[in-house]
Structure 1
Amino acid sequence: MPEKIRTGCDGLDEVLHGGIPANTITVLMGAPGTGKTILAEQIAFSNASPETPVLYLSTVSEPLDKFIAHGQEYTFFDPKKVGTSVFYEDLGYMLRDRNITELPNIVADLFIRYRPSFVFIDSFKALADLYCGDKERRMVIYDLATALSAYKCTSILVGEYSQDTTTTLPEFAIADIVLSMLKYSTNVREQRFLKVEKLRGSDSITGAHAFSISFDGIEIFPRLLTPPIAPDYQPKIERVNSGIDTLDDLIAEGFWRGSTTLVAGPSGSGKTIMVLHFLRQGALNDETCLYVGFQENPAQLARVMQNLGWNSAELLADGRYELMYRSPVEMQLDSVAAELFRRVRKGEVQRVAIDAVGDLQRCSLDRERFADFIYALVQWFAVENVTCMMTLELAEMFEIHRISDNDVSNMADNLILLGYTKTADMKRTLRIMKTRGSAQDNRLHTLEITNRGVLVKPES
């Protein structure tokens, strides 16, 4: 196994199964504004030390002083390392009166001066585009690759490459690793992704991985995958009550531990109150519970609990009932999953409510990816014995016809459908459509919401 270099970005290390292989050449590509330089400097400063110095070569895309000024905006930038273990040089200035074919010799001279373990050239594409024709470019690239390999360093070439250049430009032929940073915009929403286009001699997590940019740098959220199932895995033979006694009577005394229940219905039908019952019962059973919400913020949710006669402060104070709120405006699927499972594992969470999966669906750029995400999410809950209840809002008020079109209902173990009667008093209704591996009463029942919560009145 080749030695792996940690990147200073835990998500990227996970995607690359441990980090960047040592003594390799990486091309870090993407359009302007995708975060290439931020990631490059994050890798540089996380690895820089007197024993492993970094040589960072700016070219003709930005002046060197501007380069350094931008880097200082981020927490990973350590000014004490500049000039001691991170050395910046202006390669564009050095080449101003020289031929591009001298680049390998210039780099060799800098190697002798600094003895770096890491070399970054940013932007290599801007340099090559300005000084090279096709023939010169190939010659310079191969000579540079030879020089970098001879000095046994880990190199990253940053550039504003487009996807159609990956099969034509020589830098992609000599690269051991190609990382692509992408940015998609739909209406007012903007999402960023990283892909591993090439990784020679190693494996990685394929597909597009979401990332965000903050003052801490780049944070990558590896794509949620279906969990590996151990050969001796056996689901727990244990029932979990819903917190609504009359509902448990209709589903063989509760849900299976590790199962996922979808509660679907129109606005105002009682979905959120049902999941609050589910979590409150878990907390009363001394289980750790997590509410993941995208509509009601924590203050609004506390008000709902108070209206039901529950002491929300007491529920939240002992840590058994946690709230995780994300605004649906700037949300991304895999960032939600990363935070969710971080909390699940840290707090040994046993019950999770997601309110509502429709918000997750709207933030997904791809319907197929959303379906894969929900499937993986349900499987992870099963493997970790986390019992989940999700809500889904339906547009139809009375006669529900399209429940199977949402890419969620078929993956849930249990399906509860809420609605209204087409009568003057518009009574709320509940019907159990599916309970996998359990008996069920699938008749239409009346559901009432009182100042003490939900009451299901089974039909006689």
Structure 2
Amino acid sequence: MSVNNSTTIGRIETGVGNLDAVLGGGLPERSVTVIAGPPGSGKTTLSHQIGFHAAGKGVKSLYFQTLGEPTAKRLQYLSQFSYFDTAKFETSVRFVDLGVLIRSEGIDSVIGLIMEHIKREKPALVVIDSFKAFGDLLISQEQSRKFNYELIIHLIAWECTALLLGEYSDEDFRNNPLFSVIDGVITMTQKEVSGEQLRMLRAVKMRGTAHNRDHHPFLIDSDGIQLFAPRVLIRRTSHNRKGSAVQERCMTGIRDLDSLLSDGIPRGTSMLVAGMTGTGKTVLLLNFIYEGATQFGEKGIIFSFDETQDKLYLAAHELGWDLEDLVDRGLVEIVFIPQPEVLVEEHLLVIKDRAEAMGAKRIALDSLSGFLCKIDTPQLVREKVYQLATIVQNLSAIGFFSSEVPYGSNQMSRFGIEETMLDGIIFLSLAAEGRQRKRFLEIYKLRHTEHQLGQHPVMIGRGGFKIATAAADRRAQQKNPKNVPKEKTHVRKKKASQKKRVK
């Protein structure tokens, strides 16, 4: 049993990733919580996962089954999960089938039967599945209220933490007397979000606890339930020393770009790299990651939703960079998540965890528009962009997030929101000059930084980005110290011919 010393109430860890954070530290000891939801929503899986995790901490659990599936059938499915431990079964985790006893002796004997087992086993965690079955057998609301009150009083007297499972609805929350005496309510449902059916968990009530009440998506796989709660886990922290107004800055390593950035980019900054297809967004992100690793030894991570790792290797090779070697040396990591498989809530935490585990100082996301393509509300886009920027800020890293701009539009980003949320914008564009299209780069915005304005011509080739800047012009002049413009080929040939005729 794990006790949170920062509160006066002890806690039982659930063993469900991120659920303890949502609940404010775990299940409060000696509390009675209803886990409500329709059939198939994951109630039983959640209770089993909590019980087996608690058993690993020395907490004994007792499961009472009412009129549901028999124990043998339940164990058949339970054994498929990785958290199931045969050694703990029938020692730390015990199952009691009340169904036969209820059918033979009736509802009046239930409380006595439950208490007999509790007195004998002395469990710290008690689960009743399904508790709603008792209510269905009780004749009146008065009888139901008395039954609920007596059972809960007995559970509290024996210092049990209890989970009562049932197919309760919103109407039950309003009218069922049970909900006036319990300590907590956790709902498990399915709902459509941005065109996808997602399982959702919500801690509606948890008495005496500063818990989070948002809906959080979760998955059920062979490890059990995985809960995703970026609103709880991604919070901004401050890294500046008290009284210090100076921010550490970072040069990109792309020489021509750095000449436009004055003192560099402040640590913790997220940059939007925006432009239409073909403007060089992916190349700029690769250039940024590559130069950081090779020039400064800074670890960089690339999250790609469009291009596989092999395609990024190939693109880097054509630019003269051995990206694969940097990956092998642990300086660069590539995480490819196919766009159709993106689950924003889940993969926000993947981005956070992988970047933190690596200690990344450069984070590239290609592309932001691909990552958020399933979101259909501006408010949610704003929230997720803020959370991405928070990950970068908390790591004191620099983030480059590419974004596709719709062709022919005057927007600076895909959704028209990103530019207001992020600290800087590098805008890449194409313009027709005669029969050719030329690329341009503009630092449109960078907070707290004096930078050069205007569009600058860009060439992309071996070595990455080459930007026509004042500094680039000075370097060209230094290579030609007499400041004499180089003559065109046909002029040089003509002069050489004239010299021959004179001789």
Q: Give the TM-score band, short-chain normalised.
A: over 0.9
- Length, aligned pairs only: 459
Range moving further from structure 2, 224-233 or 431-440: 224-233
Hey, what does 1:74 align to over in structure 2?
81
CA distance in 2, matches of 1:290, 1:36: 37
2:365 corresponds to 1:341: no
Query: Which residue, 273, 279, 282 being the options, matches 1:272?
Result: 282
1:297 aligned to 2:308?
yes
- RMSD over equivalenced CA pairs, Å: 2.4
Greater CA drift, 414-423 or 193-202: 414-423
Matches of 2:272 and 2:64, distance apart in 1: 54
1:345-390: CA deviation from partner (whole Å, max 9, x where unpaired): 3222111111111233224465423312322332342243111111
Q: Deviations over 1:146-191 (max 9, x none)?
A: 1211111111011222334322222322221211223223587332
How far apart are the structure 2 equivalents of 1:50 and 1:259? 42
Q: Is the 8 A contact 1:92 1:127 kept in 2?
A: no
Unpaired runs of 5+ residues, structure 1, are: none
CA contact (8 A) 1:208 1:223 kept: no
387, 395, 398: which one aligns with 1:387: 398
Please name the residue that 2:251 is paired with: 241
Read off the aligned partner of 2:236 and give its amino acid letter. P
1:144 aligned to 2:151? yes
In structure 1, what is the equivalent of residue 135 of structure 2?
A: 128
Q: 1:206 to 1:456 in 2, by over 3 A?
A: farther
In the alignment, which residue of structure 1 is the partner of 2:35?
A: 28
In structure 1, distance between residues paired with 2:324 and 2:183 = 55
Amino acid at match of 2:368: V
3-state secondary structure, aligned to 1:65: helix
User: Does structure 2 retain, via aligned residues, the 8 Å contact 1:44–1:118?
Assistant: yes
1:375 is the counterpart of 2:382: no
**What is the correspondence of 1:424-439 to structure 2 with a 5 Å cutoff?**
424-439=435-450
Question: In terms of mean alpha carbon deviation, does 88-97 or 126-135 score higher?
Answer: 126-135
Identify the residue that residue 323 of structure 1 maps to in structure 2.
334
Whether 1:332 aligns to 2:330 is: no
**What does the per-residue CA deviation read over 1:189-222, in whole Å, with 9 as the maximum and x for residues that have no partner?**
3323321111101112342223222211112222
Given candidates 308, 311, 315, the residue that maps to 2:322 is 311
Partner residue in 2 for 1:102 = 109
Give the partner amino acid of 1:242: T
Task: Quote the residue 1:456 is aligned against.
Answer: 467
Contact 1:57 1:91 in 2 (8 A): yes
Which among 11, 16, 40 is matched to residue 4 of structure 1?
A: 11
Aligned to 2:500: none
Q: What secondary structure sits across from 1:17 in the alignment?
A: coil
Question: How far 1:106 sits from its partner (Å)?
Answer: 2.0
Tell me if the contact between 1:42 and 1:76 (Cα under 8 Å) persists in the aligned partners: yes
Aligned to 2:219, the other structure's residue is in SS state strand
Q: Are the equivalent residues in 1 in contact too, given 2:405–2:411 (CA < 8 A)? A: no
Give the deviation of 1:231 after TM superposition.
8.4
Task: Give the 3 Å change call, closer, same or farther, for CA 147–300 of structure 1 in structure 2.
Answer: same
User: Is 1:354 aligned with 2:365?
Assistant: yes
Change in 2 beyond 3 A, CA 1:59/1:422: farther
Counterpart CA distance in 2 for 1:192 and 1:386 is 33
- 1:30-75 CA-to-partner distances (Å, cap 9, x unmatched) read 2222222111100011112696321111222322222111111100
**Matched residues in 1 for 2:461 and 2:453: separation?**
23
CA distance 1:235–1:17, shift in 2 (3 Å) = farther
Question: Which of these two proteins has the greater Rg computed from alpha carbons?
Answer: 2
Change (3 A) 1:374 1:164: farther
Q: Which runs of 5+ in 2 are unaligned?
A: 1-7, 474-503
Q: Which residue is 1:153 aligned to?
A: 160
| SS class of match (1:445) | strand
Which amino acid in 2 is paired with 1:418?
Answer: L
Q: 1:400 is matched with which residue: 407, 410, 413?
A: 410
The offset of 1:289, in angstroms, is 0.9
Rounded Cα–Cα distance in structure 2 between residues aligned with 1:413 and 1:455: 24
Residues 63 and 95 in structure 2, CA contact (< 8 A), matched pair in contact too: yes
Distance in 2 of aligned mates of 1:130 and 1:348: 57
The one of 174, 186, 194 equivalent to 2:181 is 174
Q: Which residue identity does 2:27 align to in structure 1?
A: I
Change in Cα spacing, 1:132 to 1:324, as seen in structure 2 (3 Å) is farther
Distance (whole Å) between structure 2 residues aligned to residue 332 and residue 404 of structure 1: 19
CA distance in 1, matches of 2:56, 2:334: 41
**Alignment partner of 1:43 is 2:50:** yes
Report if the CA contact (8 A) 2:356-2:395 is conserved: no
Q: Is the 8 A contact 1:266 1:418 kept in 2?
A: yes
Match of 1:226 in 2: 235
Q: Structure 1 residues 366, 38: CA separation in 2 closer, same or farther (over 3 Å shift)?
A: farther
Q: What's the TM-score, normalizing by structure 2?
A: 0.85
> Bigger shift: 159-168 or 278-287?
159-168
Seen in structure 2, the aligned counterparts of structure 1 residues 268 and 132 have a Cα distance that, compared at 3 Å, is: farther
TM-score (normalised: structure 1): 0.92
Determine if contact 1:260/1:390 at 8 Å carries over to the other structure. yes
Identity between Structure 1 and Structure 2 (%)? 29
Q: Give the Cα separation in 2 of the matches to 1:321 and 1:435.
A: 26
| Displacement over 6 Å in runs of 4+ | none
What is the SS of the residue equivalent to 2:373?
A: helix
2:340 and 2:348 map into 1 onto residues whose CA distance is 16
CA-CA distance at 1:131 after TM superposition = 4.9
The 3-state SS of whatever aligns with 1:362 is coil
Contact 2:406 2:414 in 1 (8 A): no
Aligned equivalents of 1:29, 1:164: Cα separation in 2: 12
